[in-house]
Amino acid sequence: QEDDFKKVISHAKEYGYVTQSSEIYDGLSAVYDYTQNGAELKKNIREYWWQAMVQLNENIVGIDAAIFMHPTTWKASGHIDAFNDPLIDNKDSKKRYRADVLIEDYVGKLEGKIEKEVAKAGKRFGAAFDRDQFLSTNPRVLKYQEQATDILKRMGRSLEAEDLADVKALIEELEIACPVSGSRNWTDVKQFNLMFGTRLGATAESSMELFLRPETAQGIFVNFLNVQKSGRMKIPFGIAQVGKAFRNEIVARQFIFRMREFEQMEMQFFIRPGSQKEWYEHWKEARMKWHLSLGMGKELYRFHDHEKLAHYADAASDIEFRFPFGFKELEGIHSRTDFDLSSHENFSGRKLQYFDPELGEHYVPYVVETSIGLDRMFLAVFSNALCEEQLDDGSTRTVLRIPAVLAPVKAAVLPLVKKDGLPELAHEIIGALKWDFMVQYDEKDAIGRRYRRQDAAGTPFCITVDHQTLEDRTVTLRYRDTMEQKRLSIAELKDTIQKEVGF
Ligand code: ATP
C-alpha cells in the first residue's frame, strides 16, 4: 500500500501534475504546486462541480468572497475558541501527531486485518464467496469490528468531554496492542488552534490581527442576506463557492490529502427550520450521485455518519473514498442548524432574517452544507486512475485512466514522421480542435513510445497523422483505455471526441 502511494506521488511529479512547493529550496511541508497537467485537472474538477451545483440548479448561485475577513467573523463562527486539534508528541522519536488521526491509524490496522481475512476466505471459497455475508458473520471479523467501534466511541467521548488524559491513555493502550508509531513515550495531549494569523495595515498602532480563512463557508454566511435580496432568492436556495482555505495542520506524509493551503468547494443551502432532516438526506444522496457519475466504481465510496458532532452541527456524514491508504473523508455533508447565522446576528448586531411570504413570518434560516476538498478530490481521481497493466503480448504499460471528462489534455496529435508535410497537417488539425478542447502536439520518438507516454499522462485520445492522411484526409484515432484504433476522417474528429469528453 505504501509503495502504491509512493508511485502515485512520483508519477504526479514526473507527468506534470503536482510537485512540492518551493522545491529548489527543499520544499515547504504540506504545501504543493500544481503544474501544467495538474492545473488542468484541478480546473476540470472545479468546473464539473460548479456545473452540477450552480449551473444545473436554478435555486443555487455562486459567489467568490475574499480570503481575509473581519476578525470578529471567527469569534462568531467559533473558530477562535473551538477550532483545535488534539496534539501529542512522542518523546523518543520527537515526532508530533494529531491524536485523533493517530487513533484512526490504529483502527486502520484493524481494518487491514479484516481485509486479510476477507482475502483469505475469498481464496478458499472462490466464486461462491459472499463478501457481505462473510463480514456480517465471521467471528474474527466481528471481533475486529467491535474493537474498532469501541475505540472510535471512546475517542469521541473523550474528545467531546475534553478529557485529554483519556485520549493519551487510549493511545498508550493501542500502541501496545497494535503498534503504529513504534514508540511508547508520550507527552500529554494539548489543544492546538489551526488558524494562521497575519496582520493588516502598515503601522504598529493601526494594524489589526487577521486570520487566513480556515474554511470558505463564513464568506457565504456573511453574504447571505445580501445575495438573497440582490438575487431575489426564495427559500430553499443555495450559495456555492470555490476558494482557498488555510489550516496549520499537523501532518505526516499525506501528500495532497492534508495540506496547509488547500481549496474547498462548498455549498450552503438555506432552508426553513424543521426541514433540515429532509434536505440533509437530499444532499447526501445528490452528492453521492455526483461522485458516481464519474464512473470510477461504486465500491470506492461509503458514507460515514458521525456520532461525534462539531459544535455547529445537528447531523453530519462524510462521503469516504478508498484512497491508497484506506477509506478516508473526501466530502462532508452537515446539517448546521441556524448556528452560524444566529451567531453572526449576535456579534454584528445586524438582523440576518428571511421573510417567508408563504408563512408570512420572519426567521433565521437553517443550513445544510456540502463541503468537499478540491485537492482531495484530485487525489481520489488521480490515485485511482494510476495502474500498471499486463498486456496480451506479455509486456506491461502504465496508464492513467482519468475519466475523459476530467482529463487535462483530451487528445494528442502525432505525425508519424517529422517530414513529408505530416507535421504541418498535424498542426492544421490542432488548429481546428483547440477551440473546443485541450490538444497537444508531440513528434518526438517512435509512435509506440509516444502512445505510452500519452497513456501515462492520462490523455484519452491519440490522433495519428500518416501518409494516407495526405491522400484522403483520414487519421487513426487511438483510445487510451482499450488501445483500440479506428480510421476516420478529420472532419469527424471533433464530434467523436466531444461525445466522450463533454460534461
Ligand atoms: P479532517 O477530519 O480530514 O481534518 P475536516 O472534517 O476538518 O477534515 P471539514 O472542515 O469538514 O474537514 O472540511 C471539508 C472538506 O475540506 C473535507 O472533507 C476535505 O475534503 C477538505 N479538507 C479539509 N481540510 C483539508 C486539508 N488540510 N487539506 C486538504 N483538504 C482538506
Kindly state whether residues 186 and 202 are assigned to the same domain.
no
Kindly state whether residues 206 and 234 are assigned to the same domain.
yes
Our answer on whether the CB atom of 457 is closer than 6 Å to any ligand 1 atom is no
Asked whether residue 76 is domain-assigned, the answer is: no
- Total Cβ atoms within 10 A of residue 219: 22
Give just the sign of the alpha carbon dihedral 412, 416, 421, 423.
Answer: positive
- Total Cβ atoms within 10 A of residue 107: 20
Kindly state whether residues 243 and 366 are assigned to the same domain.
yes
pTM of the model: 0.89
Give Dmax (Cα) for the chain. 79
Asked whether residue 56 is domain-assigned, the answer is: yes
Our answer on whether the CB atom of 336 is closer than 6 Å to any ligand 1 atom is no
Our answer on whether the CB atom of 375 is closer than 6 Å to any ligand 1 atom is yes
Kindly state whether residues 310 and 427 are assigned to the same domain.
no
Cα 403 to Cα 459: distance, rounded to the nearest angstrom = 10
Cα 300 to Cα 211: distance, rounded to the nearest angstrom = 36
Cα 333 to Cα 321: distance, rounded to the nearest angstrom = 14
Place of cell 495526405: 470
- Total Cβ atoms within 10 A of residue 408: 23
Q: What is the pLDDT of residue 202?
A: 76
Residue 419, beta-bridge partner list: none
User: How much distance in Å is there from the Cα of 321 to the middle of ligand 1?
Assistant: 13
Asked whether residue 334 is domain-assigned, the answer is: yes
Kindly state whether residues 486 and 472 are assigned to the same domain.
yes
> Is there a binding annotation on residue 263?
yes
Cα 428 to Cα 441: distance, rounded to the nearest angstrom = 11
> Is there a binding annotation on residue 330?
yes
> Is there a binding annotation on residue 376?
yes
Residues 160/167, Cβ–Cβ less than 8 Å: no
Kindly state whether residues 364 and 448 are assigned to the same domain.
no
Q: Give, using CA atoms, the residue closest to atom 16 of ligand 1.
A: 373
Atom of ligand 1 nearest to the CA of 85: 4
487: domain CATH number? 3.40.50.800
Testing ligand 1's pocket by substitution, the residue of 87, 249, 261, 371 carrying the most ligand atoms inside 8 A of its CB is 371
Cis peptide before 86 (omega within 30 of 0): no
Number of domains in the chain: 3
Kindly state whether residues 261 and 381 are assigned to the same domain.
yes
SS3 category, 28? coil
* R_g of the chain computed on alpha carbons: 26
Cα 121 to Cα 98: distance, rounded to the nearest angstrom = 35
Asked whether residue 175 is domain-assigned, the answer is: yes
Pair type for strands 439-441 and 411-415: parallel
User: How much distance in Å is there from the Cα of 373 to the middle of ligand 1?
Assistant: 6
Q: Give, using CA atoms, the residue closest to atom 31 of ligand 1.
A: 373
User: How much distance in Å is there from the Cα of 129 to the middle of ligand 1?
Assistant: 36
Distance of CA 190 to the CA centre of its chain: 28
User: How much distance in Å is there from the Cα of 150 to the middle of ligand 1?
Assistant: 24
Kindly state whether residues 104 and 135 are assigned to the same domain.
yes
Kindly state whether residues 165 and 218 are assigned to the same domain.
no
Residues 483/470, Cβ–Cβ less than 8 Å: no
Per residue of the chain (503 residues), what is the pLDDT tens digit? 678 999 999 999 999 999 999 999 999 999 999 999 999 999 999 999 999 999 999 999 999 999 999 999 999 999 999 899 999 999 988 888 999 989 998 998 998 999 999 999 999 999 889 998 999 999 999 999 999 999 999 998 998 888 999 999 999 999 988 888 888 899 999 999 999 999 888 777 777 889 999 999 999 999 999 999 999 999 999 999 999 999 999 876 789 999 999 999 999 999 999 999 999 999 999 999 999 999 999 999 999 998 777 777 789 999 999 999 899 999 999 999 999 999 999 999 999 999 999 999 999 999 999 999 999 999 999 999 999 999 999 999 999 999 999 999 999 999 999 999 999 999 999 999 999 999 999 999 999 999 999 999 999 999 999 999 999 999 999 999 999 999 999 999 999 999 999 98
Cα 79 to Cα 339: distance, rounded to the nearest angstrom = 13
Asked whether residue 310 is domain-assigned, the answer is: yes
Domain end residue (candidates: 401, 424, 457): 401
Q: How many helices (H) and strands (E) does the chain have?
A: 17, 23
SS3 category, 370? strand
Q: Which candidate, 300, 262, 187, 243, places its Cα nearest to that of 65?
A: 243
Residues 447/464, Cβ–Cβ less than 8 Å: yes
Kindly state whether residues 132 and 59 are assigned to the same domain.
no
Cα atoms found within 13 Å of the Cα of residue 270, Cβ hemisphere only? 30
Cα 136 to Cα 121: distance, rounded to the nearest angstrom = 13
Cα 236 to Cα 338: distance, rounded to the nearest angstrom = 14
Our answer on whether the CB atom of 259 is closer than 6 Å to any ligand 1 atom is yes
Q: What is the pLDDT of residue 201?
A: 83
345: domain CATH number? 3.30.930.10
User: How much distance in Å is there from the Cα of 408 to the middle of ligand 1?
Assistant: 25
Residue type, 78: G
* C-alpha to C-alpha distances, 405 to 36, 139, 143, 201, 317, nearest whole angstrom: 17, 44, 43, 44, 27
Asked whether residue 79 is domain-assigned, the answer is: no
Residues 100/159, Cβ–Cβ less than 8 Å: yes
Give me the domain span that covers residue 177.
Answer: 84-193
Q: Which three cell numbers stand for residue 347?
A: 456579534
Q: What is the pLDDT of residue 252?
A: 65
Domain end residue (candidates: 370, 401, 432): 401
Kindly state whether residues 216 and 301 are assigned to the same domain.
yes
Asked whether residue 120 is domain-assigned, the answer is: yes
Distance of CA 465 to the CA centre of its chain: 38
Q: Give, using CA atoms, the residue closest to atom 24 of ligand 1.
A: 258
Our answer on whether the CB atom of 329 is closer than 6 Å to any ligand 1 atom is yes
Asked whether residue 75 is domain-assigned, the answer is: no
Domain end residue (candidates: 401, 422, 446): 401
User: How much distance in Å is there from the Cα of 463 to the middle of ligand 1?
Assistant: 40
Kindly state whether residues 381 and 425 are assigned to the same domain.
no
Our answer on whether the CB atom of 450 is closer than 6 Å to any ligand 1 atom is no
DSSP for residue 89: E
SS3 category, 3? helix
Atom of ligand 1 nearest to the CA of 334: 11
